[in-house]
Structure 1
Amino acid sequence: MEQPIKILIVEDEMIIAANISLQLTNLGYDVTGIIPRGEEALIHIKENKPDILLLDIQLKGAIDGIEMAQIMQQDYDIPIIYLTANTDDTHFEKAKTTNPHAFISKPFKKLDLQHAIELTLHNIQKDELLVKSGVKNDISPFILSDCIFVRHHDKMVKVAISNILYMEAERNYCRIYSKTKEYLLVMTLKDLDEKLPSNLFLRIHRSFIVNISHIDEIATSHVVISKKAIPLSKSLKEELLNRLHTI
């Protein structure tokens, strides 16, 4: 017998949370809890890991929803659907770095919730099929000192390291952007970072590694490579500037 999909609701407006819980139960999902604060949700996840996290961005308490997601993702890969009222561009860009599966704007209809969850489940199943089909093994790159061999369509292709502009995290995958093409790897950005030549590449954000020789511009909170603005973490900016002095 199949177990119902487990969903955790992290929402500090209890009337909204109770309404969501009722809707999810009627749709056949198992609500593992309704929790108003991010710090409490992190404890709950350790004890009863859900399949999907419905997470309000503007939580009251010591941490907001985005910060809670960032902490959670250090240990768990749980798909996130954000609930939001009036999210400004800054919060939206910050939320995007946690690679959510969907955003739902409050107030929302039952159908909005249903579609967001079904889309998330579809994406999860697609990821699992990729792994089961052997793509995970086939696509793993061979990283040498001057190039990376990656799976592209039905063959392994050679990508010169000097041509790689930057890499971006996409949940359990990462995407390599070269001067002419992009390649999807079933490898986390952390694992890729450990294998790349440290004299050329630097992780400047939790979701981005850049080839520092291709940086065209450095601003307060981002760098520009080939007209693409890439976020730059404050804590890593000094290391980037120091590295640029040595090349």
Structure 2
Amino acid sequence: MPTEKINILIVEDESIVALDLAAGLEKDGYQVVGIADNSEEAKELYNSNKVDILLMDVNIIGDKDGIDTAIELLQYRTVPVIFLTAYTDAATVNRVKHLQAAAFLTKPYNITNVRIAIELAISNFALTASQPSPGKVIPIEQSTERAVPESTEKETVLQMNEYIFVKNNYVFVKIRLADLLYIEADNNYINVITAEKKFVLRLSLSQLLDKINYKPLVRIHRSYAVNIHAIQSFNDQEVQINKTELPIGRNYKEEFLRNFNFR
């Protein structure tokens, strides 16, 4: 699938709270991969699903609490953790600090606060991830080409390894870079095209290309960049992707052909 929902695991011992939270997140467009109320069940769900965000209640059923459980889970795979708790004592806060938690929400919380915490968790994790292809927050600066007016609200695009995260309404949607077909400039906006969907972002084409680290994404025209792996055919004047013909600009032709080792 060109676009994927962000997968969230909820570990919460109050079933009504957990189900209500899951319903709200799924309504927003997130995918809840499971709900656990104890450490063993949480580990089973975590290891059998591709979890992007972990919502962890500090007080859960069993000998291990949510903090100890999070420590174990993060040894398998590092993801942002948002802790949920009714207790804000200094000892609990200090234990959470050592884990560099993405957020710490006290009960009772509402879906708006959780939504904001998830967005911040993704942003901060993309910025600090220490992986071979480090994630990064992509701030959108002003550019001389099709610059976004200062009065226009800037958008944030995130890259984390082989994915970018873009805003769709008020939630992030995960797009695999390899599934991008092409990007089209449209005045102060760009259209990010996949096989199944189009995303409209408020920034220039140059701004996005300067920040995304993905070599197959090549500019062929002032208004177009294409994923060379998605090209079905091309000639001296245009390329065809998904039955759409896109022009090759004179100033971009030589650089485009270099991707095919043409001499």
Range 70-79 or range 15-24, more displaced = 70-79
Gaps of 5+ in 1: 136-247
Amino acid at match of 1:117: I
In the alignment, what sits opposite 2:53? Answer: 52
Check conservation: 2:8, 2:32, Cα contact below 8 A. Answer: yes
In the alignment, what sits opposite 1:77? Answer: 78
Could you tell me how far 1:41 is from its partner in structure 2?
A: 0.4
Q: Percent identity?
A: 37
After TM superposition, the structure 1 = structure 2 runs for residues 102-121 of structure 1, keeping only pairs within 5 Å, are 102-121=103-122
Large movers: runs of 4+ above 3 Å? 127-135
In the alignment, what sits opposite 1:9? Answer: 10
> C-alpha distance in 2, partners of 1:95/1:121?
18
> C-alpha distance in 1, partners of 2:134/2:105?
32
> C-alpha distance in 2, partners of 1:34/1:67?
17
Check conservation: 1:10, 1:41, Cα contact below 8 A. Answer: yes
Structure with greater contact order relative to length (CA < 8 Å, sep ≥ 6): 2
1:117-150 Cα distance to aligned partner (Å, 9 max, x none)? 0111112333469965799xxxxxxxxxxxxxxx
> C-alpha distance in 1, partners of 2:8/2:58?
17
After TM superposition, the structure 1 = structure 2 runs for residues 83-98 of structure 1, keeping only pairs within 5 Å, are 83-98=84-99
SS of corresponding position for 1:81 = strand
In the alignment, what sits opposite 1:239? Answer: none
Amino acid at match of 1:35: A
> C-alpha distance in 2, partners of 1:80/1:97?
12
In the alignment, what sits opposite 1:34? Answer: 35
Amino acid at match of 2:14: E
Check conservation: 2:125, 2:135, Cα contact below 8 A. Answer: no
Counterparts in 2 of 1:63 and 1:129: CA distance versus 1, 3 Å: closer
Check conservation: 1:39, 1:63, Cα contact below 8 A. Answer: no
In the alignment, what sits opposite 1:212? Answer: none
SS of corresponding position for 1:107 = coil
The alignment yields a C-alpha RMSD, in angstroms, of 2.2
Could you tell me how far 1:107 is from its partner in structure 2?
A: 0.5
Could you tell me how far 1:73 is from its partner in structure 2?
A: 2.0
Counterparts in 2 of 1:29 and 1:91: CA distance versus 1, 3 Å: same
> C-alpha distance in 1, partners of 2:78/2:135?
20
Gaps of 5+ in 2: 137-263
In the alignment, what sits opposite 1:140? Answer: none
> C-alpha distance in 1, partners of 2:46/2:134?
30
In the alignment, what sits opposite 1:215? Answer: none
In the alignment, what sits opposite 1:181? Answer: none
The TM-score with structure 1 as length reference comes to 0.51
SS of corresponding position for 2:75 = coil
Counterparts in 2 of 1:12 and 1:134: CA distance versus 1, 3 Å: closer
1:191-220 Cα distance to aligned partner (Å, 9 max, x none)? xxxxxxxxxxxxxxxxxxxxxxxxxxxxxx
> C-alpha distance in 1, partners of 2:106/2:133?
34
Amino acid at match of 2:83: Y
Total equivalences in the alignment = 135
Counterparts in 2 of 1:133 and 1:108: CA distance versus 1, 3 Å: closer
Compare CA radii of gyration and give the structure with the larger one.
Answer: 2
> C-alpha distance in 2, partners of 1:70/1:130?
19
Counterparts in 2 of 1:133 and 1:38: CA distance versus 1, 3 Å: closer
